[in-house]
Amino acid sequence: MPCASCELQTCFTNEGEMPVGCPELNRDKHAVMKSTEGFLDYASTIREKETDRISEMIEYAKFKGVKTVGIAGCIGLHDELRVISDRLKEEGFEVNTVMCKTGSLEKKEVGVPSRNLITTETGYGIGAVACNPVAQALLLNKHQTDLNCILGLCVGHDSVFFKHSEAPVVTLIAKDRTNGHNSASILNNFYGDNFFTRRPRPDGATKFNSKRMKLIDIFRTIRARRRG
């Protein structure tokens, strides 16, 4: 399916030709419309509000009649977990929170090599207890949560959680260690642009490596951009 490279985006305008391989050519339009019925008023209201993600999740949960919210959190975001949990309680939800290390499963028990028990080979501190996204999901299932949220689970742990959670899941924070958990940030700024497109830099260089970029390069770039 060619959506990533599609320049027509006929699905958005609902007019004109569909490109070769377009999934729109085979979809059952009426089945899709049925599944979104009742959501349209809510969706247009929430778009107009341009609200932050946590507030949007709260609005969505209220719209869906959710009573009990589960949050599967990363231990690295414990403060954030507490703040969001308090906020949800203030909004009237029953909240169940479960940390990634629940079960205190020793890494050596699950076959992690001893060289990686406390720190990785590069010296990054990771501790001796394994994360347990399966247990996070099963515990929230046991509490019969109506909606679960992910708060900073690592890539892979999140997909395991999705797989085992009985309640639908909303991602509140996606773990991204280099961008303040804001993965889109490298796509929508100059650094991300350069990284993904490899466009020549304004000073003529064709290769770009943000880690090696010096302050003077940044000034040069800004100046060159301003000049036009």
Binding of ligand SF4 by 2 (CB under 6 A): yes
Binding of ligand SF4 by 24 (CB under 6 A): yes
| CB-nearer residue toward ligand SF4: 15 or 50 | 15
Near ligand SF4 by CB under 6 A, which window of 9-17, 95-103, 141-149, 156-164?
Answer: 9-17
Contacting ligand SF4 (CB under 6 A), which of 9, 45, 159, 210? Answer: 9
Structure-block tokens of residue 144: 């019969």
Near ligand SF4 by CB under 6 A, which window of 4-12, 75-83, 109-117, 199-207?
Answer: 4-12
- The sheet carrying 68-73 orders its strands as 94-99, 68-73, 147-151, 169-173
| CB-nearer residue toward ligand SF4: 6 or 54 | 6
| Nearest residue to 84 via CA among 100, 73, 68, 99 | 73
Structure-block tokens of residue 43: 């969706």
| CB-nearer residue toward ligand SF4: 4 or 155 | 4
Shortest reach from residue 204's CB to ligand SF4, in Å:
35
Question: What span, in angstroms and rounded, lies between the C-alpha atoms of 107 and 116?
Answer: 9
Shortest reach from residue 186's CB to ligand SF4, in Å:
23
Binding of ligand SF4 by 28 (CB under 6 A): no
Near ligand SF4 by CB under 6 A, which window of 17-25, 81-89, 127-135, 199-207?
Answer: 17-25
Question: What span, in angstroms and rounded, lies between the C-alpha atoms of 161 and 141?
Answer: 11
| CB-nearer residue toward ligand SF4: 23 or 92 | 23
User: What phi and psi values does residue 95 have, to the nearest 5 degrees?
Assistant: -125, 130
Shortest reach from residue 20's CB to ligand SF4, in Å:
9
Per DSSP, which regions of the chain are E strands?
68-73, 94-99, 147-151, 169-173
Binding of ligand SF4 by 6 (CB under 6 A): yes
Near ligand SF4 by CB under 6 A, which window of 22-30, 57-65, 106-114, 187-195?
Answer: 22-30
Shortest reach from residue 29's CB to ligand SF4, in Å:
12
Q: Tell the burial category of 203 from Cβ atoms under 10 Å away from its Cβ (0-12, 13-18, 19+).
A: exposed
Tell me the chain's radius of gyration from C-alpha atoms: 23
Whether 91 contacts 59, CB under 8 Å? no
Question: What span, in angstroms and rounded, lies between the C-alpha atoms of 144 and 160?
Answer: 18
Q: Which residues of the chain form contacts with ligand SF4 (CB under 6 A)?
A: 2-3, 6, 8-11, 18-19, 22-24
